[in-house]
Amino acid sequence: MKRRVNFIPFLITLFLFLGCATGPMFYVNIDSISTPNANTKKKYILLPGLKDVKPTDLQFKEFARYVEKALASRGYIKVDNFNDAEIAIFLSYGIGNPKEHVFTYFLPVWGQTGVSSSTTFGTLNIYGNYGTYSGTTYYTPTYGITGYIAYTGSYTTYFRFLILDAIDLDEYKHSKKILQIWRTVVTSRGSCSDLRRVFPVLVAASKPYIGTNTGKQINVTLKENDKAVVEIKSLKRK
């Protein structure tokens, strides 16, 4: 039975290997949920959602600027005073340990598979009632795939995430109860391990869904030079 040569794993490996250097395609998942009245509260303060990360942390401040601009495009208003804020938004982010993926693929071996025809050339010598014959037969071979050699390849991916949790401060000031009014979870897996590079893409992909109820997981595909990503990056400098 003929076996098909599977080059797909090889192409995946090449794509992922070149990913961070040549401008990869980012596959982002967004899952957002909210209460019915979540959209009525727009004044916010932004705080770190990670343990031991302070608002003065340089990475948090860089990432917060991306998020703040995305929030502004959704009608949210940043305030500096806790008493003026209606909600507190906690920003969490991170990147997981590398995960290696191993696969096997097959490449064909080319060789002689048989004979298509043969031709014989010879000489007949007659001596009275006796004779001798000498000749040579030439064979025309056929070539094709005679087998397959198995090869093993691998590629590495990283899990990247961004989480925004919104807490109702009006309720907290009144009853000291922590009431979550919306949560937006953004995840992605790919070959790029540079979270500073990936983070603007995560923000750009999630921007239309922040603070909403998606009802299901939304899948978004973006490149670094897509308009949505470029806008998020440029907004940081304004």
Higher pLDDT, 4 or 120: 120
* Domain end (from 91, 118, 146): 146
Assigned domain for 86 exists: yes
Residues 199-216 have pLDDT tens digits of 999 999 999 999 999 999
**Residues 48, 117 within the same domain:** no
pLDDT for 77 equals: 97
> What domain range is 114 assigned to?
110-146
pTM of this prediction exceeds 0.85: no
Assigned domain for 13 exists: no
Lowest mean pLDDT among 57-71, 132-146, 222-236: 132-146
Percentage of the chain modeled with pLDDT above 90: 58
Domain count, the chain: 2
Residue 3 has pLDDT above 80, yes or no: no
End-to-end CA distance of the chain: 64
Q: Given the DSSP bridges, would you call strands 87-95 and 77-78 parallel, antiparallel or unpaired?
A: unpaired
**Residues 92, 196 within the same domain:** yes
Write the CATH number for 43. 3.30.160
Residues 6 or more apart whose CB falls under 8 angstroms from that of 219 comprise 27, 28, 29, 30
Assigned domain for 82 exists: yes
**Residues 89, 55 within the same domain:** yes
**Residues 126, 203 within the same domain:** no
pLDDT for 238 equals: 41
**Residues 88, 159 within the same domain:** yes
Residues 72-109 have pLDDT tens digits of 999 999 998 999 999 999 999 999 998 888 878 788 88
**Residues 188, 220 within the same domain:** yes
Residues 11-44 have pLDDT tens digits of 444 444 444 545 678 999 999 999 999 999 999 9
As given in the structure block, the two tokens for residue 77 are 């208003």
**Residues 42, 116 within the same domain:** no
**Residues 212, 159 within the same domain:** yes
Assigned domain for 74 exists: yes
Assigned domain for 181 exists: yes
